[in-house]
Structure formats: C-alpha cells, structure tokens
Amino acid sequence: MTGAAVVEAAGLVVGPGVGPAVLEGIALRVHHGEIAAIIGPSGVGKTTLLRALIGAVPPGMSVLTGRLRVCGHDVLAASPERLRALRRERVGFVGQDPARRLNPRMRVRQLLGEMAVDAGPDGPRRLLSELSLPGTDELLRRRPGQLSGGQQRRVALARALARRPALLLLDEPSAGLDTALRAELAELLRSLARRHGVAIVMACHDRELVDRIADQVLPLGAPTMSRPVEQPLPERTERTEPGPPVLLGHGLSAWFGRHPEHPVLSDVDLRLAAGSASAVVGPSGAGKSTLGRVVVGLHASASGTLELDGVRLHPRAERRGREQRRRVQLVPQDPLGSLNPRRTVRASLTRPLVLHDRCPAEQRPGRVIELLAAVGLAEELADHYPDALSGGQRQRVAIARALGAEPDVLVCDEVTSALDPENAEAIMLLLARLRRERGLALIVISHDLRLVAAHTEQVLALQHGRALAAGPTTEVLAALDDAGGTALTDSHDPVGRAIRPAGLPPRASARKDG
Amino acid sequence: MPRIVRRVTRLLGLLGRRVVLLAVLLVGVFASVTFLPRDAAQSTLDRGASAAELAARRAQLGLDQPLIERFARWMGGLLTGDLGTAARGQPVADVVLVALPNTVLLGGLALGLTVIVAVTVACLATLRPGGPLDRLISATATVTLALPEFVVASVLVLVFALWAGLLPAVAITSAGGSVAPQALILPVLAVAIPQLGWNVRLVRAALADEARAPHVDAAQLDGLSRSRLLVRHLLPGVLPAVAAAAVTSVGLVLGGAIVVEAIFNYPGVGVVLTQAVQDRDAPLVAGVVALTGALILGLLLLADAVRAWATWGTR
Amino acid sequence: MAGGRRFWWGLVPAALLMVGTVLGPLLAPNPIDEPVTVPYATPSAAAPLGGDQLGRDVLSRLLAGGAELLLTAAAVALVVTALSALLGAVAVLRPLVGRLIERLADVLILLPPVLGILLIVLSWPDGGRLALCCAAVLLALPYAVRVVAASAAPIASAGFVEAAVAGGERLGRLVWWEVLPNLRAVLVTLLGLRFVAAVYIVATAAFLQVGPQPPAANWALMIRENAAGILLNPWAVIAPSLAIGLLAVGVNNTVEALAPGRGPVRLARL
Amino acid sequence: MELTRRRLLELGAGMGAGLVLASCAGGGSGTGVESSAAPGPAGPPRPGGTLRVGALGKVAAIIQDPHGSQSNESDYLIIALAYDPLTVPGDPRTVTPRLASSWEASPDLRRHRFALAEGARFHDGSPVTSADVVWSLQRLRATPAGASRLPGIDPAGIAADGPNAVVLTSNYPNADLPLLVRLTTFVLKQDTADVAGAPGTGPFRLESYRQGNARLVRNDTWYGGAPLLDAVDVRIFESPQAMVNALFTGEIDVASNVGPVAARTAQGRDGIQIVRRPNDSALPIVMRVADGPFADARVREAFRLAVDRDAMVAQALSGFGRIANDVMGTGDPAYATDLPQRRRDPARAVALLDEAGFDRSARYQLITADEAPGQGESAILFANQLRDIGVGIDVVRQDLGTFYDETWLKAPLYTTYWGTNDSVTFFASKTMISGAGQNETGQQDPAFDTAYQQAVSTADEQQRTSALRRLQEIEHQRSGYLLWGMADGVDLASEKVGDPPKLAGFGRVQFERTWLAD
C-alpha cells in the first residue's frame, strides 16, 4: 500500500493544557486500504485520539503539539469551513453507542440520504445491502428507535459510508454484535479496505477482531490513575459453609405505577443464607435491579412476603423498623451518583455511624479511618470531595458507607458494571473478603457472568421478570450455557462489558430498569 | 396499531383529568367571587336604593339561596350550554360570546407572534452560543420579562400612535363588530412583547439541552452545516418544549389582554371580566373562566398531541 | 463563579441600582407629595423630569417610588423560592405530593393570573401590600415548584439518595442534607426570575388599582396616574417605565452573576 | 373616571329655579362659553356627513331602556338623540320646550298642564298622542328611581287632558315641575313591549346598536326641524385616555366630557377645538354638620378659610374652572354673586379652631373616590393645605361601591361630586332641607327649611327672589359644604365640527344643530 498516507500523525500531545496530558508522543501513518487498530484499557484516551484525527477533541482538551495531516489537509491549522468539508466528504466517523448517535426522529432513508453522494432513490437501498441489511421499504421507513442494536450499528456504518469516505474512523465497532455479526463486520471492513482502498482506523476492545483484520496496531499506555490495591487473583474464592437463611423472599412481584397487570417481577422466591453470596443475573429488563430495590425497600408497588430473620419487612423502607433498615444496606450502581457531590468522604462515612449510633462521638474519626482501610483506601482521601476520586475509589467509599451501619445483608446493584475489568475484579475480591471477615450476606446483581462465576455460590437467573433457574452458581450457569447460552446475554450487553462513555451523566429521563 | 389506541386513550385520559380540574377551578372562582365583600345586588343597584329594593333584587338574583345550590344550578346549566344570567340581567352567554372572539383574536395573534419570534431568536442565539448576539438576546429577553403589558402599551401608543401618528391609538370596531386590522397591531405587540422574554429563554434552554444530545455531536462530526444541523437535528427535538412553553403562555396572554384592552379600548372579554369582578357577578366571572378554560384545555390537548407526535418513533 | 469580567459587568451596575432604589427616598430633592410646579409641567430647573398629574416633582417621586416595589418584589421572590425549594424536593421524594403539586399547576394554567390577583386582593378588604404579596406567592408557587422538581428529579434518583433512603434516612434530613445542597445553582437562578416575575405582578396589580393606593409614590402607580398627561410630559410615564425595566434587569444580572455558571438551566414559567 | 348611577339620579329630578311661565331675561352668569385653540369652521352650516362621537361607558353596564338608570354617558347620549323628553335644558332659558311646546301651572302651583308639540311623530310615522305620554310617564314613575325623578307626583297624578295635552298633579305646590321633567321623561309608544330600540320621537333614529356602540340616522320629519347631520356614530370608551387618543389620531370627531388634562393636551395640538362649558360639575368637600368633629360652625368656617381656592383650581383642574363661594348651584340665574367671596386666611382659621377647642394633634380621614376627574387630586391637595394650619389629614381612596355604601351620607369628612349646577333650590331640596333624600351633611336647620318652603311655594317673583337670597346666605354662613371651585365641562372636537353643544351638564347631548364642514 504505497502512495500518500491518508493519515500522518507525529509527536501528537493532547491534554487539558494544565496537568498531565492524556496522550503523548502519538505517531501514526495509515495508507489507503490499510486498517489500523488502537488498543488499550478504557479511559486511556482511545476515543480522544480518534476524535483528534478529525479536529474534534472533547471540550476542555486541545492538541498541544505535534503534526497531523488527514487526506492531505493539516487538521490542526484548518479553518472551520475546511474542517467541515473534510468531515462531510472525506472522513466518516462512527461513535460508540449508535443507538444514541442516530437522530431519533429521522427515518433510515433520510439518515442515509442526507449524507449520500449519489442522490439517486436506490442509493440507500444499495448501502443497506452492502451491510447485509434487507433494503426493504419497510426498513427504510423505520426510525432508529424501531431497530435492534445490531441494525442500528450497521445503519450508522452505512451512513458513514454513504459519503464514499477516504478514511473511516470506528469507535468500538464490534460492541453489541453477536459472534456471527462480528465475523460479517470483519469481512466488510476487510473488503472496504482492500477493494475500495478505504483507510480505516478503529479503537477496539475486541482482541479477536483486531487480530483478524488489523494491519497495524497502536497500543496506548497504561492508565495514569492510581493503581488499585489488589492481591493476586485466586482461581475461586474457597467455599464457606452456608449459615441459616437470613433473608427469605416468597412470591415477590413488582410493577411500575398503577399497572399491576404488566409486572416487572412476578412470583420470585429468594433465599439468602447468612455469610453467603448469591448473585442475580439475567438480560437487561429481566427485573434484576427491581428485585434488589424491593429487598432494600425502594420499590413500593410490590407484593409477596419478605422476611429478615423471620420478621416481615414492609415494602417501603420508611415504614421499616430502625434496626431492620440498619441490617439491610444498598451499594448503588453508577459510581458518579453513589456519593453526594456536596459532601466530603468523611461526612458521607460519618453519617451512618451517627444515624445508627454505632459508636460514641469521639470515636467516629477513628472509625472512618478503619472503614477506609477496610475497603483499601488511603486515609488522606477522607477530606476529598467525590469528584476528586476515580470511579473505583467512589464505589469503594460507597461500600465503606454501607459497612458503617454494620449490616447483615448488603445489596450490590451492578456495582462493577461501570468499572474497567481490573477495578471490577478488585471490588469483587474486596466484597468476598468482607463477607468472610464480617459474616455479611451479599446479593450481587450483575450481568458479568465471569465475575458471578468466580465470586458467588448461589445464583438466581431471571428472564422477563420470572425465575428461570436458582441454585449453586456452577451448576446453574453450566446448565444455562448448554441451553444455547444466549438466555443470559442480551442484544445490548455483550459477553464483555458495555463501556459507558465515562464522564457523561445518565440523561435525566433515563428510566431505571434491568 | 394498538400503540395509536393506547396513545389516544392516554390523551383523552389527560383531557378528562383536566376537565375535572377546570370544574374544581370553577367552584373556587364562583365561591371566591361570592365571598368578596358586598354582593351583586349592592353593586348593580342604584345608590340610595331602599332596603326593600335591595332585598327584592337579592331575591331576583337568587342571592338568598345557599351557595351550593346556586352553583349546582349554574353548573347544571353549563352542561346544557346555558351560562346563566349576569347580575345586570343580560344572559352571560350573549355578553361573553360577543366579547370572547375579539380576545381570542388578540390572544391568538399575540401567541403566534411570540412563538414564531421566540423560536427564530432562540435559534439565532444558539448558532453562536455565548457570542455577542447571544448575550444581546438574553439581555433584551430579561428586560421584556419585567415590563408589564400596560408599560409596553403606554410607550407603544405614545411613540407609534401619538408622536408618529402611524397607527390608530385605539381599536375602533366597525358596524359588524370586527376590529380594523391596523388597529390590531399595537395591542398584539403590547401583549406579545412581555411574553417574548419567557419564551426565548425557554426555547434557548431547550435548544442548549438538545445540543448536548449525542446525535447532535454525531451530526457535527458528519460535517453538516450549522443551519442544517439546527433545522434537521435540533429543532424537531425542541418542539415539545416549545409547545409546552406556548401553552403556559396562554394564561399569561389572557391576563395581558385584560390589561391591554382597557388601554386600547379593545372590545374584548378582559374588560367584561374586570367589571364583572367589580359587580361581584359570580355567574359572569365563572362563565368567562369556563369558556377561556375550555379554550386553554383545547390548546393543552394540542400541545400534548405535538409532544406525542414529536416523540412518536423514539420510544 | 462565572467568568471575572462578566461577573463585575453584571454585578456592579445592578448593585448600584438596587442601593439607589432603596436609598432613593433619602435622595429625593423635593417632598414627594408637595406640588412644586404646574400639573404635567415640562422639565425645568425646579423639576428636572417635569411635573406629574398634580405638579409634584417626578424625579423625587421616581427616587422614592422604587424602594417599595423593590422590597415587595424581593419579599415575594424570597418566599416563593424558599417554599418551592422545600416543596420541590419533597415532591420528588414523595410522588403523592408531586402529583398534587402537578394538579395545582395545571389548575393555575387555566386561571388568568390577573383574575387571580383581583380575586385574592379584593377578598381581603384593607389587606393592601400584604394581600398583594400573598396573591403573588400563591399564583407563582406551583410553577416554581415544578421548576425545582424538574431539577431535583435526577438528584432524587441518584445512587446516594437511594442509598440514604435504604439506609433509613427520614424525609426531612433527605431534603435538607441530600437534595437541596445540590440545587444551589437552580435556586439562585430561580430567585432572580421570581424577582422579575414579582416586579411584573406588583406593577400590574398597581395598574389594576389593587394593593398600594395613591397618594403613595410607586412606579407602577405613577405610570397609571400620569398616563392622561403622556403628551404634556412624557417623562412622567417613561421615567418609571425605564426604572422598572432597569431594576428587573439589574437584579436578574446580579443573580446570574452570583449563580455558579451551569449554562442555561431549563427554566419554566413565570 | 368611572361613571355611576348617582350622576344620572340627580339630573332626573331636574334643577334650576327658573320662573315657571315667563322665560327669565337675565342670562345666567356662568353660561358664557369660550373655546380656545382652533376656532370652529367658518361659513354657513351645511347639511350632510356622519359625526363620530366618543362617550365614556362600561361595556358590562350597557342599557337601552330609556326609563332605566343609565350609568354610561354613551347610553344616555344614544337615548337622548333617539327619544324626546317633555322639556330640555336651554340657554338662556333653563327650561326650553321639546315634546311639550308650552305649559302652565294652576294658581296653587299644583296642577301643571303640558301641551304637546304640533306634528310630533314617532320614527315609524304614527303621531304622538297624550296616551303615549301618560303611559311613558307612568312607566318612568314605576321604576325604582321613579319617585325621585318625578318628585311629588303620584302615578294617579299623571293624566291625559284631551288628545294633545297632559296634566301632572303635584302633592305640594312646586314651581319647579317643568324643570324637573327636563331630562328623563322620554316618551315611547303606548304599551311598547321591547323598549330596546323601540321607535322614538327624537331628531335621530337608531339604526344599529352593538356592545355599546350605536349608529343613528337623521329623522327628516322631526317636528323641531330636521338636523343637518346625515348620521351620528356613538363610540363607547372605557377610559378617557383611550377616547382622547382616538380623537388625536382622527378616529372620532368629538370626545365628550374629557376633563381638564385632556383639554391641556389638546391645546398643544393643532386642529382641535376645545369647548369649555363652565359650571359643569362641583367637587365639594363635605363636612358632617349633625355630629362629629365638624358639628361646630367655627370649625367648618376655619376649614373654609384654610383652603387655597386658586391653587385648587390651578392644580386639581389645571385651570379649567372657577373658584366658588361655598354655595351650591352656581349656574342658577338667581345665584347670589354679591355674597362676600371667602379668601385663604390661615391665621383666622387657626384662631377659630383653637376657639372651638378643635384637637389639632389627632389625624383625620378625608375619604375620596375616583368618580370625576380632579376629585382624587383635590383631596390630596386639600390635605396638604390643611397641614399649613397644623391639621393632619390622611387621604383614603375607596372604590365606588364601598364609597357609596360605607362613606356617603355617613362619614364626617369626604369629597363628593355633583353635575349640572344651574339650580340652588335643587340642591336645597336634594341635600340640605331636613329629611332630604341625600342629606350628605346631615343638616337640620329650621331657618333654612322655611326659606326653602317660601321659595318654591310662591308664584310671586319678588317673594321668591328674597327667599332664595335668604337661603343662600344661610348656606354660605353655616352649611357643611366647602365648595372651593366649579369645574368646566370640557369637550374636544375636530376643527370641522360646527356648533358643537355648549350647555353645561347634560346639555352636551344636544347635537341637533351640529354640522360638519367638508
């Protein structure tokens, strides 16, 4: 692949200008028909680099030094009009989460037609067939909301290709595709590069895809954030004897608002032994989180009986006894929202001590230090505000806060889903250790089967609000894997992790489900 | 299409709830007018009328019957379209149905003007967020926020009617009762300008929110021109917010009309309302509120329909 | 805090205006109810802004007329903001209260605000300023609560609030310690808007001759009283009109300068 | 400025003590007319054109019944153009013939026979008969205000005398009867069912009426001679400000009864006639005589000396008026102009207050209402002037409803408003004799009562004049009225309006002689 390089980048430094740079010394040359892959753990700046290539560095950051030429244009010095023309005709960018990057109100025909070079009526139809999508009128009339995850991703790709670009930038192209679709994608990208001479640069987590089609690979350095404390990964936590059942749920059902006829959860039984760890798994929308919320009393419109040590629990937390509310604690999912941004770590940790008067006033500072140590965090973090901590650190403080009340049951609602693999593993190990030391009973709600297999004894699998299977983790997971294995994954969440773009708070209107 | 049916039933449910709310409001208004000091008989009879005449008038107006009974009779009439008789003897329906169309014309034009100008101005401001135009627009929006209609009306009459002599200072009705078009310009401006401030800020905020949506960022990375981005990708997302802003403006436009009608001698329902309150005329006040309330209900339904249509394919 | 220059540009003139308005009565050159010239006299040495309907000095009445409007509007704005903060936070934590407030706001859309003012103030025979304040608060509260509830909703569904609820916190503590501190920016901006809205309501009420009565010196009353002589001495109407506009802009800029810059917040109605 | 029924009520009773038979020669002192700014059109009056007249009124209070109480000036104007009463105000004779061409009274002044005008016809062509007049007067007498509009006349006292004459019998000798029937005795056809828009006998015929606005076309067969105008368009206006603006921007030709401020504004503009009608309305300050702080005549005298009459006329009426001398009825030909005019004398006032032991440390309430232009302003000015003699006055403004229910006839100190002041005996009978219907000051003065009786019950001119003189001396000396000045009635008309009405009070509705230059 000779001829002028489509992308020429040398000595690129990108950063906020003050403080450490996110990207340093980046060098990249991509020729026509060549596929380059940028790999590295999440949060290391892969997306930032991709966006930098078309002069769209995320707000707050800038390209400090370095040379960058794309399709023969110096991107750094380009005027807005020049840059706009470059993006319009020469470069196609396909971001992560296509469901939210396609205009929800435009139909597929308009989405493709808007960018198409050949404005003919059958242009969109040919594009769709290239991406093995039926070019039927019915599909062309649909809106993004009416497409499946895979279809949305391919329509986004089609839209990028509509302009016959010289360079294609892809951010996690294989996320959300099942094995068959990923193979097709690989074929398509290879053919685009070989036959149409399109240069492709992709940020990718999927080792398999990278190995199969990438001509060159650009690994980005390890993350600069503080290293999480962890011990070596034992194969499996050794099994402890399951104690007497501390939490019993019988015939639990739940619904939203005033529509009991469409239950989110129906007739689910739950058995949690003291000191045991049982997981709740299932595709998103199966009712996992709802079950957790019913247990901690956040979901009022629920029925069925829930007993803590034989004593009935009221569906609403406010109506439960003080001791009952102390013994069941929740660790929330989204690290961004798990701590009150206006309160220091110390204040957040002191509150449970005061509320359940776990210790006299003068001992509280000492107790806070102990809690921080228990979750593996340094003492000086106590006076920081949450926004100064990383996602992993924030989840640890949330766990410490729950421990402050010395609970018997700890409900962890997808606590690892927003963390990268290393941090997630560390959190699970921490929970396992706490369970052993304090005889805690854990309910771990997660869709990460690998972690569930490694760290829990019991598992309850849910599907469409019904209990699919329950019992020891290894047997249940094995049984379900034989039955086609797709029961537990869903179109959105791949076997790996769906990386939620860090920094973007969940949009206010997003309903909580799954 | 079960979804259409579900959506329509939801809208009708919404309408039903609002009709109940209107009924509650009418109870409140009817009662509050009745509890005002002095009653309709004292207000509409000649001064120095003897106690006997006063008592006779009260009996004639039915003021001696308990409030609940009078209200029940009035509401009963409402269902059959009979709005009862005003304290001065004319049927409420005649008084209101002559004046209401003029106010609807004034309010409608003002609302239309407000929404169109607000959306265009907000779009201009969004094209270059934080730019000089954006700051200028938000400054003028703040000024118009605070200026009550009568201040705007007084200045408009002074400048355009009395000094420049371009426009009529007063709305003269032709024999047929309709108002000459050029006599409408100043009243409509006087009602619309105070509403502009709110609506510009609302649409501006909605546009700013929508601009943070991922699909707008994607459209920018696709190199679309600013204007296309605005029209095809931003505006459709903002329609529900614009509809909501317009509907809440209706109540305020009606309030403004009441004030402006006195200054421009405009034959609208506002003047009737203020006099009815002075006369402690519960049926007339409640009648006006019922008809204007029904009007607003219709507009609320329209706004819901716009919101439903705008979010049609996206759920 | 918002950018330096913009902060001073917004704050200094507004603060001066407000101080001037409050101290106005002291600066007035002539007594505010003594006629000094012929009715509607054009500006002269004795009366720089001419005479009003009784020949009283417009400038003196202008200086004296602002304090009352400013203080009334400020009182209404503060009460509405405080109440709406509490009710808004409770509304998102207790859906029942939320629905009730929603219904109230819907009812108020159907009621023309001017009629609301008339009914409330007239039913309180010599209520004067207090009646007007109560009317203004009652009419503005439902909308303000809606604004606060809209901003408080994402906070109420955030992890730390849910953990607190599960952890056994009571409603009062949830509102005061968890939800409200995170609403500071919204509340400060809301205060500015509520002030502007209060100026509008108090002025309109004065025009409808409810609330403060002549011969009190009040900008809104001045506009109404001197409307008849608008051609003889336009300043008698234009000066108070400008004053109302400038006061509102001044206060709003002050509030926006003080509010931590969070971009245009989703604002609701009057 | 809101209109109330009250203004109409007092006109209903008629006024002026003009001699019953002979038209009195001496012209009233105050009926001279000056109009400044643009003069009227030159040249002979020419027929044709539609005159657009603006008049004040509330759409919610519109009424079309000629015998009802019209609170809107616009309604009264429309009715006065379309229907005829028996007699109307005039100049110089305060009682001039209209539907009654002539009238004479019995020696005991109780039976008054009115002869109907020749050729008087209704708009539908049918002739006017005494039966129509009797039916109309019976209907007027039956209205709630009927007793005060036809004082002393019982329904039985209204009878026909042949086809062309009507006889009214009064319960007591009353020389003023022809005066009392001047303005509300509109005549309709007998047994008219729907009075709204019913055929009348007036100079103009009602063509259309909608929400207070009306169009009236010329009645060519009018017995008083066909008017010059083709038609009159009456426009209703809620506020004087709106009406004046309409005149300035040429949307109407005449703005009726606009008040002093509008007049001064018009002085600055070309092409506007200002028609000043002196002695149009009185804005007296009422001091309660019967009880309270003003029961002592010396206190009333002190207050009458403390007021600065020239300043009041200059500030409250913008100069459109004249100072007065605390006697009501300044337009009456028999008005005693030789009574000593009171001037401002603060020192004497303070002495009188101390002599009467008046508590000057307390604050007193002066209650007012916005019924007429200048009324609110006069109260504020008077309060300031009283501060010079150490008396603290709080001005309290009430809306008209509250004013007439709680203040009128009861409060110790308040302002009030009376229109059309061309009769001393009218005010005496209405407000000052013991037991008067609207005794604002609560006056019980036997000497005053006997003087009034003598004035109305004698046919002899000499006796009547001396009794009237005596009446006014008592009023000037110790009545509760502080009449600081008389406001001019002001109409504005474009320069092409010829012969606009010039009479004070409700004489302003007489447009039958008005014409329009092209």
Nearest chain A Cα distance for residue B220, angstroms: 8
User: What is the CA angle B223-B226-B228, rounded to 5?
Assistant: 85
**Is residue C204 domain-resident?**
yes
Give the Å distances, CA to CA, from A220 to A7, A42, A45, A68, D149: 18, 10, 8, 18, 105
**Is residue C11 domain-resident?**
no
Chains that touch D (3 or more CB pairs under 8 A): B, C
Q: Over 60: is that where the pLDDT of A239 sits? A: no
Strand, coil or helix: what is D455?
Answer: helix
Interface contact D261, partner C, CB < 8 A: yes
At B48-57, the pLDDT tens digits run: 567 777 788 8
Percent of chain A with pLDDT over 90: 1
C-interface mutation test, from B151, B191, B238, most C Cβ less than 10 A away: B151
Nearest chain B Cα distance for residue C265, angstroms: 6
Which residues of A fall within a CB distance of 8 Å from B313? 104-105, 107, 142-146
Q: Over 50: is that where the pLDDT of D92 sits? A: yes
**Is residue C38 domain-resident?**
no
Which residues on adjacent β-strands are paired with residue A7? A30, A70
**Is residue C92 domain-resident?**
yes
Closest-approach residue (CA) in chain C for A405: C167
Query: Per mean pLDDT, which of B172-176, B205-209, D213-217 is the most reliable?
Result: D213-217
| CB pair distance less than 8 Å for C231 and B162 | yes
Is D482:D278 a contact under the CB 8 Å cutoff?
no
Interface contact A7, partner C, CB < 8 A: no
| CB pair distance less than 8 Å for B150 and C269 | no
Whole-number pLDDT of residue B189: 93
Q: Are strands D254-255 and D413-415 parallel, antiparallel or unpaired?
A: unpaired
Burial of A24 (0-12, 13-18, 19+ CB in 10 A): middle
Closest-approach residue (CA) in chain B for A141: B313
Nearest chain C Cα distance for residue D262, angstroms: 7
Is A276:A243 a contact under the CB 8 Å cutoff?
yes
Residue-level pLDDT, tens digit, chain C, 270 residues: 345 666 676 677 777 777 878 888 787 777 777 777 778 888 888 788 888 888 888 888 888 888 888 888 899 999 999 999 999 898 888 888 888 888 888 888 788 888 888 888 888 877 778 888 898 998 888 888 888 888 888 888 888 888 888 888 888 888 888 888 888 888 888 888 888 888 888 888 888 877 777 677 788 888 888 888 888 888 888 888 888 888 877 877 777 777 665 444 333 322
Give the Å distances, CA to CA, from A511 to B240, C154, C158: 19, 10, 12
Whole-number pLDDT of residue D396: 86
Interface contact B289, partner C, CB < 8 A: yes
**Is residue C132 domain-resident?**
yes
**Is residue C230 domain-resident?**
no
**Is residue C23 domain-resident?**
no
Cβ neighbours of residue B309 closer than 8 Å, sequence gap 6 or more: none
Which residues of C fall within a CB distance of 8 Å from B297? 110
Range A364-373 contact pairs with CB under 8 angstroms and sequence separation of 24 or more: A367/A404, A371/A400, A371/A401, A371/A403, A371/A404, A372/A345, A372/A397, A372/A400
Please give the residue range of the domain that contains residue C159.
62-220+238-243+250-258
Give the single-character DSSP code of D184. Answer: T
Report, as an integer, the average pLDDT of B271-279: 84
Mean pLDDT of all residues belonging to chain B = 83
The alpha carbon torsion through C182, C183, C184, C188 (nearest 10 deg) reads 170
At D380-406, the pLDDT tens digits run: 889 989 988 889 998 888 877 778 888
Question: Considering only CA atoms, which of D3, D517, D14, D518 is closest in space to residue D256?
Answer: D3
Whole-number pLDDT of residue D189: 92
Question: Considering only CA atoms, which of D344, D339, D337 is closest in space to residue D303?
Answer: D344
Residue in the block written with tokens 């008084």: B95
Give the single-character DSSP code of D217. Answer: E
Percent of chain D with pLDDT over 90: 32
Q: Over 90: is that where the pLDDT of A235 sits? A: no
Whole-number pLDDT of residue A231: 39
Nearest chain A Cα distance for residue C100, angstroms: 15
| CB pair distance less than 8 Å for D264 and C229 | yes
> Which residue in the set A54, A103, A104 is minimally distant from B219, CB to CB?
A103
CATH of the domain at C143: 1.10.3720.10
**C-alpha A383 chain-centroid distance:** 29
Give the Å distances, CA to CA, from D518 to D42, D249, D497: 11, 18, 9
Whole-number pLDDT of residue D18: 32
What is the C-alpha to C-alpha distance for residues A246 and A408, in angstroms, rounded to an integer?
8
At B220-233, the pLDDT tens digits run: 888 888 888 888 88
Which residues of A fall within a CB distance of 8 Å from B310? 105
Whole-number pLDDT of residue D24: 32
Closest-approach residue (CA) in chain C for B198: C269
Q: Over 50: is that where the pLDDT of D250 sits? A: yes
Which residues of C fall within a CB distance of 8 Å from A332? 158-160, 162-163
Give the single-character DSSP code of A132. Answer: T
Interface contact B225, partner A, CB < 8 A: yes
**Is residue C40 domain-resident?**
no
The region of weakest confidence among A17-26, A112-121, A235-244 is A235-244
Nearest chain C Cα distance for residue B298, angstroms: 11
Taking CB atoms and an 8 Å cut-off, how many pairs form between chains A and C?
Answer: 78
Report, as an integer, the average pLDDT of D146-152: 78
Report, as an integer, the average pLDDT of A254-282: 84
> What's the domain count of chain C?
1
Q: Over 80: is that where the pLDDT of D334 sits? A: yes
At C34-47, the pLDDT tens digits run: 777 778 888 888 78
Closest-approach residue (CA) in chain A for B236: A105
What is the C-alpha to C-alpha distance for residues D490 and D502, in angstroms, rounded to an integer?
10
Which residues of D fall within a CB distance of 8 Å from B264? 242
Whole-number pLDDT of residue D186: 92
Q: Over 90: is that where the pLDDT of D234 sits? A: yes
Whole-number pLDDT of residue D9: 35
Helix (H) or strand (E) holding A396: helix A391-404
| CB pair distance less than 8 Å for C35 and D315 | yes
At A56-90, the pLDDT tens digits run: 887 778 888 888 888 888 888 888 888 888 888 88
Whole-number pLDDT of residue B46: 65
Interface contact B128, partner A, CB < 8 A: no
Exposure string for A471-482, b = 16+ CB within 10 A, e = fewer: eebeebbeebee
Whole-number pLDDT of residue D492: 92
| CB pair distance less than 8 Å for B151 and C244 | yes
Structure tokens at D134: 């009797």
What 3 state SS string does chain C have? CCCHHHHHHHHHHHHHHHHHHHHHHHHCCCCCCCECCCCCCCCCCCCCCCECCCCEEHHHHHHHHHHHHHHHHHHHHHHHHHHHHHHHHHHHHCHHHHHHHHHHHHHHHHCCHHHHHHHHHHCCCCCHHHHHHHHHHHHHHHHHHHHHHHHHHHHHCCHHHHHHHHHCCCHHHHHHHHHHHHHHHHHHHHHHHHHHHHHHHHHHHHHCCCCCCCCCCCHHHHHHHHHHHCCCCCHHHHHHHHHHHHHHHHHHHHHHHHCCCCCCCCCCCC
Mean pLDDT of all residues belonging to chain D = 84
Query: Per mean pLDDT, which of A385-389, C152-156, D166-170, D256-260 is the most reliable?
Result: D166-170
Nearest chain A Cα distance for residue C159, angstroms: 4
Nearest chain B Cα distance for residue C167, angstroms: 34
What is the C-alpha to C-alpha distance for residues A474 and A472, in angstroms, rounded to an integer?
6
At B22-36, the pLDDT tens digits run: 888 888 888 888 888
Residue A245's pLDDT band (cuts 50, 70, 90): confident
Do A and D make contact via 3 or more CB pairs under 8 A? The reply is no
Give the Å distances, CA to CA, from D40 to D34, D36, D246, D496, D511: 12, 10, 20, 7, 15
Which residues of D fall within a CB distance of 8 Å from B51? none
Q: Over 60: is that where the pLDDT of D25 sits? A: no
Residue A504's pLDDT band (cuts 50, 70, 90): very low
Interface contact C108, partner B, CB < 8 A: yes
Tell me which of D306 and A321 has the higher pLDDT. D306
Q: Over 70: is that where the pLDDT of A27 sits? A: yes
C interface residues, A as partner, C-beta within 8 Å: 153-154, 157-171, 177-178, 181-182
Residue D484's pLDDT band (cuts 50, 70, 90): very high
What is the C-alpha to C-alpha distance for residues D249 and D85, in angstroms, rounded to an integer?
35
Which residues of C fall within a CB distance of 8 Å from D316? 54
Structure tokens at C87: 């009710």
Give the single-character DSSP code of D127. Answer: B
Whole-number pLDDT of residue A488: 55
| CB pair distance less than 8 Å for B49 and D144 | yes
Nearest chain A Cα distance for residue B202, angstroms: 18
Closest-approach residue (CA) in chain A for C181: A342
Which residues on adjacent β-strands are paired with residue A219? A39
The amino acid that residue B185 corresponds to is I
Q: Over 90: is that where the pLDDT of D205 sits? A: yes
Domains of chain A as residue ranges with CATH: 7-219 (3.40.50.300), 245-499 (3.40.50.300)
